[in-house]
Amino acid sequence: MTDVLAVIPARYGSTRFPGKPLAAICGKPLIQHVWEAAIRCRVLSRVVIATDDERICEVAHAFGAECVMTGECASGTDRVAEVARRSAESLVLNIQGDEPLLQPEWLEALVEPLRSNPSIPMSTLRTSIRNPYELDDPNVVKVVCRPDSTALYFSRARIPHQHKGSCETYKHVGLYGYRREFLLHLAALPPSPLELIESLEQLRALETGATIAVPIHEIDGIAVDRPEDVARVEAVMTAGANPHSRKEGSPW
């Protein structure tokens, strides 16, 4: 029996792409593609869209999703935490609403370390950087981990700096799993110094001393950040080249 709540936070007023959750991709709103992938995931007991905009809620209800209205939230994490406070599930996933090529296997990978190791309060994902231009792109968040696949640090800069020799460089995939109590604790804390410097919420968790599991998956997705990204996603979908994910080595 599953006990996992998945929340898809969605806001209308994106600076770079206003109305993004409702942008049409191959005839469906962006948020619907994400929701449909999530409900196919066998480990989830409930999938909820969370928004503060009536337009998004109306569209979500029209395609059959459970949607809840929240107050104004400073971040997606705060919006997910607001839903978690009203819910009883012990595990909570934060599913970014801008990943229309999301695969259910990605979500299963988030849950696995939380299920198998009670000492892990939080999980996320990483994948190898294949395109060299991403190494120095600050919009592509990099992560370095311990041998046990727990996070050492996340940065918008290229890490590690390869002064001698070379190694695999990983980018962070912005999906999160939490134990409910830890999520509520984290959301109640003020932004941490490194979080403010890097503008990365996950650094707040690291600065509390929490362990973040970061399994490796081979992930081929396209986040919709700007209007021009819609055409890129549609090209993948219409070509039938659905992205695949392959679980790699993990202690979980």
Q: For the chain, how many structural domains are there in total?
A: 1
In a domain, 180, yes or no: yes
pLDDT in tens, 143-178: 999 999 999 999 999 999 887 877 889 999 989 999
Alpha helices in the chain (DSSP H): 30-39, 54-62, 76-85, 104-116, 180-188, 193-198, 202-207, 228-238
Q: How confident is the model at residue 97 (pLDDT cuts 50, 70, 90)?
A: confident
Q: Model confidence over 179-202: pLDDT tens digits?
A: 999 999 999 999 999 999 999 999
Note the pLDDT of residue 17. 85
Instruction: Report yes or no on 20 lying in a domain.
Output: yes
The residue-averaged pLDDT of 100-117 equals 94
Task: Render pLDDT for 61-84 as a digit per residue (tens, 0 to 9).
Answer: 999 999 999 888 778 788 999 999
Q: Supply 217's token pair.
A: 């998956």
49 located within any domain: yes
- Where are the strands (E) in the chain, listed by range? 4-10, 24-25, 28-29, 46-51, 66-69, 91-94, 122-128, 142-145, 151-155, 170-179, 212-213, 217-219, 245-247
What's the whole-number average pLDDT of the chain?
Answer: 90
In a domain, 143, yes or no: yes
- Residue 251 covered by a domain: no
pLDDT band at residue 244, thresholds of 50, 70 and 90? very low
CATH number of the domain encompassing residue 228: 3.90.550.10
Q: Would the pLDDT of 51 be above 80?
A: yes
pLDDT of residue 165: 73
Torsion of CA 25, 200, 87, 125, to 10 degrees: 70
pLDDT of 241 above 60: no
Structural domain including 41 reads 4-246
- Tell me whether residue 55 is in a domain: yes
Question: Is residue 252 included in any domain, yes or no?
Answer: no
In a domain, 58, yes or no: yes
Considering the chain, what percentage of its residues have pLDDT values greater than 70?
Answer: 94
Q: What is the pLDDT of residue 155?
A: 97
